[in-house]
Structure 1
Amino acid sequence: MLALLANRAAAQADTQTGAPASEGGGDSATFSTEESSLPENADSAAQEPPAEQLPSIGLGDEPPPPVEKSGRSAPVSRMVEEVIVTAQKREEALMSVPISVQAFSPEALEARGVSDQMGLAKIVPGMDVGSQAGFSTVFIRGVGTDAWLTADPSVAAYVDGVYYSFTPSVIQEFGAVKRVEVLKGPQGTLFGRNAVGGAINVITKDPDFFNSETQIETGYQSFNTYKNRLYTNLPLTDNFAVNLSAFYNSGDSYLEGSTSAGKPLFREIGSGVRAKVRWAPLDDLDMKFAFMRTHGQINGAMPSNLDPSPLGRLLGVQPADKYETHVDERLYLDTDSTVYSGEILKNFDWLDVKIIGSDQHHEAPYNYDFDGSIRPLVSFDIPVHYGNIQEAELQLLSNQGTPGSDWLTVTGGVFFYHNQQGFDPIKLTVANLDPRKLSAAGINLPLGLSDALENAFGPGSFLGGLLDNLGIPSPGVPFYSISNVALVETKSLSEYLQITAKLTDWVSLTLGGRYQSEERGVKESKTRVQVLDLPQPLTVIDWKKGRDGVQPEPLSSTTKGFKPKVALDFHPFDDDTLIYASWQKALKAHAYNAFAIYLRPAYVKPENTTAYEVGLKTTLFDQTTRLSTAAFWYDISDLQTQFVSLLNGGAVSFENAGNARSRGIDFDLTSLLFPSLLNGVAMTLNGAYIDAIYTSYPHGSGYNKTTKIFSSNNDYTGNRQVRTPKWSGSLALTKTWGFDMGSLEIGANYYYNSGFFYTASNDPDYEQPAYHTVGAHISFHYDPWDMGVKVFGENLSETFYTNGLLVTDFGPNYAVAPPRVVGVVLDWKF
């Protein structure tokens, strides 16, 4: 998603950051401000802003004058560019937006060593991005969810205004980005649907009508990994253009020596292509259409059971090494995503109208070794896992022609969303035990499943007779499996409105709200038994009710509600200092886990968040330093969470965690260090303190800290929330030198995480301890050829840490993060 085909031309004499630094520094090294870089109303087609910042509508038939390169590259760091954001559905300067948002240009991302969404956690304080069992989890400021199975993320992901909710497809590489925005805190009014923790907004490059360009990037790094990217833009007429971005990656797993089913791990391959067409037949009409296709072929969620439970050890599970593990399943994970999307922007004299739509088809078949070992105990095979999504949004945006536009800004819209996703089927294989002898083996199943198996395999049954004739196959060759069809369907419609009124020259009031009606239910949930190669499985349970805890629930429900927002922002001084305060509510709809082997499909109630925030944005030291900081307090009721156990439904179960609270403070600082003394030195420093606890969680499910056996009705009140470090932060430094023929950049970055728990029980055996990582790069750009080379290293300290955890009855299955990675990248633009 975020693969970088970076523009390495730091030699432009006039960039978004303002004039390049002179040899002696001084005023030429300052940041640009919104007054100098952005019109008052960026959405109005009547304006003629720089084409790099706003859509090229109303520019006329003449192309903009070419940008001339200076004879000497300007030693201005790529980390300090001013970025325009769409955090409020309209383009505004980052420092003028009264919400917590961090935004990055592709150059800044490359300078920080970030190439995908997973890397954002290293440069956004208080953010955690994890992956387990093939699914992604994102937490911001302690707000997120690990209820990823047929549920939605709490941090919404957008690409060009299109909402992505299928969790296996959220974390991916993709090229030619214009910028990446991370919105912190609830975005219940404008981004709405289930964005209780925040949003990640990726904006890719639009086709350009006037400039033809091609960028090629190729690289080689540790573990025999090749990465290749291409971007090309082709203007066909003065109002019709197309662009194409593509990538192809291939590499060995960094879990060297690991095996699945006794064989070496697959070589991992990722590829993708995005084609965009842009047509502006009129000065006030801009239309964009895109096609995206990505494919991934990897070893799946390779589990590392580092510390087997007593049950796991009893059954012969041995601890895995940190970077080497062996499982009996031949693991795989194939992801395919095909997305068609479009955007139409029409500028009327008094209103801008934008329509965004998409049709998404995602598939992610995979399998998972539940015990994470070479023992043939429990495994899941998911040959069909898909999500089909259709969505449409109508946005109504005031412009300079709107009555009262000198003091009033209005943003409104309607959003429709439809999604059908799930498994058809998902198969559970439990060793090769005769189901009639489970009790004798010490495995006591709940009554519902025991009765079902007795009926299916009991005396006089066809399957029972078949087993008697066949006997028990040799170990490791399962002769039956339990499968489940688990499909969930969602229909959501919401309307939103936000109005900002300029009360005085230095005080503005924002009022907003969103009404959401979301119907979600279990489309199908059945439990079946497949014996050997019989042509048809036997349906033993067809679920007709869900469950909230132990109570029956309908298999469909509707969440409705209006959630308001109130904010005040102040400009009390003559400079560009912004102070803001906000109060808002956000809603995450109810959810079902239709994957239930022997218990009813699990239902969780809607999650509600009330958020308070105060913030400050300013520039310091003759505008050489940019600072954003905010303090926040979130109260969350009915927090949605999940846990995994064979003894509670057969796999994943959902529950509401009662009430939770997250409070803290974070900051982000970017600075040109002593420009009058140290030409071309830049620093970014950020950090977060988060105090996130469960204020009421009296009936929590989880694993006993001593026996590691699943149990219910645990009291987790007062425990720290999962995946939320108390302290986190990063520091990055770059030094840029300009020469007659190019520029040289040296950079280093440091990330610290104080550690966190993976489970609400706060069991230290399921904890990620404090850790830090160090990275560095050296890059040189040769201006005459517009060609660059970069040598880089990531996790140079060789720190062992993890990206995710799935706790099972057999122990903790960790997703291990990569060790040290070094590589070289070549790029060429022409």
Structure 2
Amino acid sequence: MNNKILASAASVALMMGAATASAQSPVQSDGASEPSSLADIVVTAQKRSENVQSTPLAITALSGDALAARQINSVEAVLQTTPNVQFSRSGANSRIAIRGLGFDNVATGGEQRVAYHVDGVYLSRPSSIFGTFFDIERVEVLRGPQGTLYGRNATAGAINVITADPTEKLSGYGAVSYGSYNRLEAQGAVSGAVATGISVRVAGDIVRRDGYGKNITTGLDVDDESTQALRAKVKLQPAENFTLILSGDYLHQNDHNFAAKFLGNGGLAGTPTAPTIVVTTAQLFGAVIPTNPRNSSIDFGPYARRKVWGLSGTADFDLDDITLTSISSYRRTNFRTAGDLNGIGGGTFAPAGIYLQNEYARQYSQEFRAALKGDWGHLTLGAYYLNEDVTGYNDSHLNSVSFGAPFPGTTVVGGSIGGRLKTAAGAVFAQADVNVTAMLLLSVGGRYSAETKKDFDRTAFNFTTPFTPTTPYVYNMFQTDKQTWRSFDPKVTVQFTPRRGLMVYATYSTAFKSGGYNLGGIQPPFDPEELKNYEVGLKADWFDRRLRTNLTAFRYDYSQLQANAITTTGIRIINAARARIDGVEAEIEALPLNGLRLQGSGALLDAKYKKFSTVDPAATGFGIVDLAGKRLSQSAKWTANLMAEYSFPVASGKLIVQGESFWIGKVYFSPFNRELISQPGYNLLNAAIRYVDDGGWSVAAYGRNLSNKLYLDAAVVSTSFLGSPATGTYGAPRTLGAEFRINF
């Protein structure tokens, strides 16, 4: 993709707006039960309430009702409806990529490039976002760098999950669903006033599901699910202009999820002209490869244990044209996963390599904002502080036969890589949106960030002592270091609105992801990432708001990308020199007939390294490899989504029939673009039928991944110590289910 494509996209957007401006008329409604025009969606993406169609951002927003209607009950399902967004898992961590920028660090202590917020609170740990997605009022997915108003680790974009607030009137809902793999979910909420000016809302979600596969060695389920989540909110309103919302949430997980499946031999010996495949140690000693790829043969695990909880308080003080906001939060994350490094087992030695990942984190954050408004426009001023303390370890207990040590066939203590990482991040920010004329708005903003990290690494290697549960690690390598990174990130947007329902904008912005430390890696700090973004967009409603078209074109110039490579003894973080990302995105929604709703989105993405040379740890004999021209990880060349919904009156309610198709192009999971750890393009089909009664209850039947497509959502080549086995995780298979829901 080049400059001509970007320029053409911008020209087409402007011409579409100009050509049909006169064809618009005021919004009309025929008074029928089905809407005759597309509804306004109110978002808070710019820290204030505004119509999504007048917000100069590439943003996709879904209401809680829309989520329930489409049987979307996870962040992953939301992101499949959004162009240029991909979701996967790496063990207990989420991996979200927007416009080709995702989460590469698979070690403890790693941070995403997509900022995830729940009710305005930034969740720093990629392992902490699961269990937050229930009782939702709205979810907003912001594509592109959000360096001004969000800042920390919003280089690729931001996801805002807004949960339902307490209501004064007694209300709530309950929902029970049952489906494939004995999946049983019970979810509900109750809300109401308990005294004058005090209202409470309590919501919960419980999920139980059998595994998508079996461990043929141990008989355990793999990829099952057992979670319980609870959230309570108290709303205090002692005066009309003051509101305080206190919130607490808790998640508990205990199951056999996150099972890594064996994909093949990932090691290459020799040279590029005469390569040979390295057979993994596990295979050399008779490990069994399951015939069903969803099954596992590992000798140990998998096990997943997680506890996440948090407290927050959000205060709003409205002084006519000035609103003061304070958001305080405290969060704790504790997770432990265990499995087998090889992804296969059942051979003459068991296990070949036990892998344990532990992470314990606590986070405190505070944000203050002042929002001013007037006929001239809006001004947002703010300050943000985050303090985080993470302790994490990646432990490996290896079978000694794999490296010729004494006590052949005995599992030895192995290695422990980890330590403690402290982060103190502060920022001040401002954004002014000035009405230059009735049609022209100029937005200027900036954020100054300073981030200090203290690293306390310690590493132990012991390949001679047999392992027992009580055998302690004796740490023999240490590192203590401290570094501060600072950045100023500006943003300038010109927004032109020639008529109601038509807006075009152009933005220049920058963002940065601070440098950091590879926890336990005993290496110098890696450098911060820096991004420059050039973006143009159009948002338009046509034909009495029965058609909506949103178009975006952008270019990223990216420097010092942080990438990880799994070496013989652990994980190393390196900086890629430069990358360039070009893309176009389209979102279309239409009401061609009363009762018929069509939604579609699509994106093209050209995300490639411009300058990056390094050694592939799984093919060291190849020497330094030039990766210029290779695609970035998790950067599909194209994505598309199409949804059709038809509703019509039945008895005392209405019947809604939906069908959805999601397409995604080929995805690589490493910067080396290895075919073994890639996923060719594929298509997923979803469908649902739902009856909604006027009495407040509904019943639905649904199916997801109806073609039962087997697809990878993450993959990696593990340590050469075990012969570089390639392992990965698969997305969910075909699932069918039914739900009963009642609102009151």
The normalised TM-score by structure 1 is: 0.80
Distance 1:302 1:720, change over 3 A: same
Counterparts of 1:743 and 1:201, CA distance in 2: 31
- 1:664-683 superposed matches below 5 A: 664-673=583-592, 675=593, 679-683=594-598
Letter in 1 for 2:407: I
Letter in 2 for 1:593: N
- 1:338-353 superposed matches below 5 A: 338-353=309-324
Shift of 1:82: 2.5
CA contact (8 A) 1:80 1:682 kept: no
Shift of 1:637: 0.3
- 1:23-422 superposed matches below 5 A: 28=28, 74-76=33-35, 81-149=39-107, 150-209=109-168, 211-255=169-213, 257-259=214-216, 261-265=218-222, 268-309=225-266, 310-312=278-280, 313-320=283-290, 321-374=292-345, 375=347, 376-382=351-357, 384-399=358-373, 405-422=374-391
Letter in 2 for 1:155: V
Distance 1:132 1:315, change over 3 A: farther
Q: Select the structure that is richer in strand.
A: 2
Letter in 1 for 2:337: Y
Counterparts of 1:346 and 1:783, CA distance in 2: 38
Q: Deviations over 1:32-74 (max 9, x none)?
A: xxxxxxxxxxxxxxxxxxxxxxxxxxxxxxxxxxxxxx9xx82
Give the one of 658, 669, 691 matched to 2:577.
Answer: 658
Counterparts of 2:467 and 2:651, CA distance in 1: 73
- More deviation, 340-349/490-499: 340-349
- More deviation, 752-761/287-296: 752-761
Partner of 1:432: 400
Letter in 2 for 1:662: I
Matched, 1:558 2:446: no
Counterparts of 1:813 and 1:690, CA distance in 2: 26
Counterparts of 2:621 and 2:715, CA distance in 1: 16
Shift of 1:408: 2.7
Letter in 2 for 1:668: E
Distance 1:825 1:534, change over 3 A: closer
Partner of 1:542: 477
Counterparts of 1:121 and 1:499, CA distance in 2: 30
Partner of 1:787: 697
Shift of 1:690: 0.4
- SS of the residue corresponding to residue 295 of structure 1 reads strand
Letter in 1 for 2:491: K
Q: Deviations over 1:695-751 (max 9, x none)?
A: 1112254433xxxx6866321111111111111010000001124511110010000
CA contact (8 A) 2:212 2:222 kept: no
Distance 1:710 1:826, change over 3 A: farther
Shift of 1:526: 3.4
Counterparts of 1:427 and 1:472, CA distance in 2: 20
Q: Deviations over 1:148-171 (max 9, x none)?
A: 431210000000000001111223
Counterparts of 2:298 and 2:318, CA distance in 1: 59
Distance 1:155 1:265, change over 3 A: closer
- SS of the residue corresponding to residue 40 of structure 2 reads coil
Shift of 1:542: 3.2
CA contact (8 A) 1:685 1:731 kept: yes
Give the one of 452, 455, 472 matched to 2:407.
Answer: 472
Distance 1:565 1:315, change over 3 A: farther
Partner of 1:829: 743
Distance 1:538 1:133, change over 3 A: closer
Letter in 1 for 2:382: G
Counterparts of 1:538 and 1:595, CA distance in 2: 14
Letter in 1 for 2:308: S
In structure 2, runs of 5+ residues without a counterpart are 1-25, 267-277
Give the one of 784, 799, 802 matched to 2:712.
Answer: 802
Shift of 1:602: 5.5
Partner of 1:4: none
CA contact (8 A) 1:243 1:275 kept: yes
Letter in 2 for 1:378: G
- SS of the residue corresponding to residue 110 of structure 1 reads helix
Counterparts of 2:486 and 2:431, CA distance in 1: 19
Q: How many residues align?
A: 694
Shift of 1:472: 2.7
Partner of 2:544: 622
Distance 1:433 1:323, change over 3 A: closer
Shift of 1:300: 3.4
Letter in 1 for 2:233: K
Partner of 2:4: none
Give the one of 640, 657, 661 matched to 1:746.
Answer: 657
CA contact (8 A) 1:684 1:732 kept: yes
Give 1 or 2 for the bigger CA radius of gyration. Answer: 1
- More deviation, 712-721/743-752: 712-721
Q: Deviations over 1:283-312 (max 9, x none)?
A: 111000001001112213201112234331
Counterparts of 1:777 and 1:80, CA distance in 2: 22
The normalised TM-score by structure 2 is: 0.89
Partner of 2:725: 811
Q: Deviations over 1:409-437 (max 9, x none)?
A: 100100000111132x5421111349xxx
- More deviation, 792-801/302-311: 302-311
Partner of 1:509: 442
CA contact (8 A) 2:504 2:538 kept: yes
- 1:623-638 superposed matches below 5 A: 623-638=545-560
CA contact (8 A) 2:456 2:478 kept: no
Distance 1:96 1:267, change over 3 A: closer
Shift of 1:269: 0.7
Distance 1:285 1:767, change over 3 A: same
Q: Deviations over 1:223-254 (max 9, x none)?
A: 01101101110212342100011011101011
Partner of 2:612: 697
Partner of 2:22: none
CA contact (8 A) 1:157 1:200 kept: yes
Counterparts of 2:549 and 2:729, CA distance in 1: 35
CA contact (8 A) 2:452 2:483 kept: yes
Q: Deviations over 1:641-690 (max 9, x none)?
A: 11223x2xx222211111111111001111111x3xxx200000100000
- SS of the residue corresponding to residue 287 of structure 1 reads strand
Shift of 1:173: 4.8
Q: Deviations over 1:119-147 (max 9, x none)?
A: 12310011011102222111111122312
Counterparts of 2:638 and 2:157, CA distance in 1: 19
Distance 1:773 1:263, change over 3 A: closer
Counterparts of 1:654 and 1:680, CA distance in 2: 52
Q: Deviations over 1:463-482 (max 9, x none)?
A: xxxxxxxx837x3x524333
Letter in 2 for 1:686: S
Partner of 2:527: 605
Distance 1:543 1:711, change over 3 A: farther
